[in-house]
Structure 1
C-alpha cells in the first residue's frame, strides 16, 4: 500500500471520529464540518511526518539493504537510483524469499556437515586398518628377532600389501581432489566406443577368469559408434565399473556391456547378475567410501573410491551417470557420452 493512501485512511478515520464527537455535543453541522476539515488536514500532516520519518524510512532502509545484498555489484549500482513504489510490499516479499533461501542453505549446510563427519570417520578407518596391520607385522618381526626367516618374509609381504592399499587410497583421493578442482583437464578426442570396450575386455579378461565371470558385449565390435570424450578417462570409468561388477557378482555369472544410440548421446551400460543393491542405498552409492556391505567390501579389497571417481569423471564431461538395481538379480550402471555426428566425409578416429 502506498504511503499517501495509508496516511489518508488514518487521517480520515481520525477526522470522522472527532467531527462526530463535536456534533454530539454541539449539534451544529457547521462546527462539525470545520472540525472535520481541521482535524483531517492536521492528522494527515502529522501522520505523514511520523510514518515517513519513523516507520516508512526505516522500512525502505531495510528493503534497500536486503535488496543490495541479493544483487551483484554492477546490477546494484545500476538500480541504486530507483525507488520502489511499494517498499512495504517489496520488503514483505523480500523477507519471505530471504527466509526461504536461508532455510535451504541451512539444510544444505547440515547435509554437508553430516557428509563431512562421515567422510572423516571413513577416511580415518580406511587408513587406520592397514596402518595397524603394518604396525602389528613389524612388531612381530622385531619380537622374533628375525629367527624365523620364513615367518618374517610372510609378515613383510603382508605389510607390503597393506602399504600398497594405503598408496591406492592416497592416489585415489588425490585424483578425486584434482577432478573436483579442475586440475586434471579433459582431453577430448573422437574415437569408436566399440574399440574402447573391446580393449578394456582384453585388459580385464584374466581378472574375469579369476572371478569365474564371463564378459559379454551385446553389440558387434565392427559397428562404428563415434564419441567425443577423454579416451583415457573413459577407459578408467569402464575399468572401475567392470571391476566393481567382479567384486559383487556371482561366481559363474556374467558382466555385460551394451550401449544405445540416443539423439545427441551414446548411453553405455554395464550390467551384472550379482547380489544387487537395496533401493535405500542407491542415492548414496557414488559417495566416497560409502559401502553397501562393509564386511564384504573390506574383505574383497578396494579403496572404496572407485564409483566416486567414475561419477567425477563423467560429470567432468558434462554428462550423467545413473544406477538401477534389484536385490538378488543384479545391477546396471549407465553413463552417457557425447555422440559425434558424422557428415559426408569420415572423421579421423583415434584408436590408441
Structure 2
C-alpha cells in the first residue's frame, strides 16, 4: 500500500537524520546503526498511528459519506469500506463524481421547476377560460334575459353547456393521465387484429373528418391480419387521439394516412397528415401536457390539450415507443410501436 510506503519513507527520513546527528558527535558506526534502528522504529509507529487516526480514517469517513449520499445507504453498507492504494486520488475522484451527479440533479430540478410553473400557468388558463364564459352566460341569464330574449337565452344556455362539457373532458383527461402515471390503470393485454381496430376507428372518425373536408386513407393492401398484443381499448384511444389531432391541424380538403409496417418483433403504426407541420424546436415538447405549438389556433380548435400526452403515457405503459417527425408546411407523422404476435406455425 502507498499508505505504508508513505509512513516508511517518513520514518526512514527521520531515523536517518537522527542517526547522522548522533554519528556526527559519536563517530561510531555502531551507535549510528543502533540510533537509526531505534529512531526508525519509533518514528514508524508514531507516523503510522498519526496517519491512521487523523488522516486515513478521516478520508475513509468522507469517502463513505459521499457513497452514502450517492447511494442512499447506511454508512455500514456504503462502498467506502475499502480504499485503493492511493486514497487521496481515490477520494478526489469520488468528490468529482459526486459533484458531477449533484450538478445533474440540480439541472434536472431546475427543468422540473420550469415545467411545473408552465404546467400551473397552462392548467389555470384552461380552467379559467370556460369558467369565466359560463359565469358570463349565467350572469346574463340572471339579469333577466330569460324574459327579455328567450331565443338569446337559449343560445347562452347552449354555450354554457358546451363550456361545461369542455371542463368535463379536461378533468377526465387529467384524471386519466394521473392514473396512468401512478400505474392505477392496468394494461389488459389481449391478442387482436390491429387492421380491424384501425378500420373501426376510421369509420367512427369519418364524420368529423368530413366537416373539415379531410380524407382518411387506409390502403386496401392492409387486408391480411396484423396480430398484436396490447390493451385494445387503450390503443383505440391512442388512434382516436392521433387521428383527431391530424384533423385539427390538417390542411382543409387534405388527407390523413394510416400505415402499418410489420417489423421483426414489433408493429409500427404511422398517422400522417399534410397540415401546417411543427417547428423543429417544438418537436421535443409536443407530448407535454397542455403544450401547444400554435396557441392562438389551438384555442379556437378546442380540445383539452392533453391528447398527445395521454398517447405517450399509454404507449410507454405498454413498454413501447412513440415519436414524431414533422416538416413545416408539409405535414406531421406520429408513429408508435406495439408488440407483434407471431403467427402459430
Q: Which residue of 2 aligns with 1:228?
A: 229
Which stretch has the larger CA shift, 66-75 or 201-210? 66-75
Q: Which residue of 2 aligns with 1:12?
A: 12
Q: Which residue of 1 aligns with 2:269?
A: 268
Which stretch has the larger CA shift, 271-280 or 57-66? 57-66
Q: Deviations over 1:199-220 (max 9, x none)?
A: 1110001111101001111352
Does the 8 A contact of 1:68 with 1:76 survive in 2? no
Q: Alpha-carbon deviation of 1:144? A: 3.5
Q: Which residue of 1 aligns with 2:259?
A: 258
Which stretch has the larger CA shift, 47-56 or 294-303? 47-56
Q: 1:237-316 residue pairs with structure 2 within 5 A?
A: 237-316=238-317
Q: Which residue of 2 aligns with 1:349?
A: none
Take 2:225 and 2:43, find their aligned partners in 1: how far apart are those partners?
85
Q: Which residue of 1 aligns with 2:212?
A: 211
Does the 8 A contact of 2:325 with 2:332 survive in 1? yes
Q: Alpha-carbon deviation of 1:54? A: 1.3
SS of aligned partner of 1:328: coil
Which stretch has the larger CA shift, 328-337 or 1-10? 1-10
Q: Alpha-carbon deviation of 1:70? A: 4.8
C-alpha spacing 1:79/1:241, structure 2 compared with 1 (3 Å):
closer
Q: 1:42-191 residue pairs with structure 2 within 5 A?
A: 42-68=42-68, 70=70, 83-84=82-83, 86=85, 87-146=87-146, 147-191=148-192
Does the 8 A contact of 1:277 with 1:327 survive in 2? yes
Does the 8 A contact of 1:227 with 1:338 survive in 2? yes
Does the 8 A contact of 2:145 with 2:153 survive in 1? no
C-alpha spacing 1:9/1:284, structure 2 compared with 1 (3 Å):
same
TM-score scaled by structure 2?
0.91
SS of aligned partner of 1:208: helix
1:333 aligns with 2:298: no
C-alpha spacing 1:35/1:295, structure 2 compared with 1 (3 Å):
same
Unaligned runs of 5+ in 2: none
Does the 8 A contact of 1:63 with 1:91 survive in 2? yes
Q: Alpha-carbon deviation of 1:318? A: 0.5
Take 2:262 and 2:138, find their aligned partners in 1: how far apart are those partners?
55
Take 2:41 and 2:26, find their aligned partners in 1: how far apart are those partners?
22
Unaligned runs of 5+ in 1: 345-352
Does the 8 A contact of 2:276 with 2:328 survive in 1? yes
Does the 8 A contact of 2:127 with 2:167 survive in 1? yes
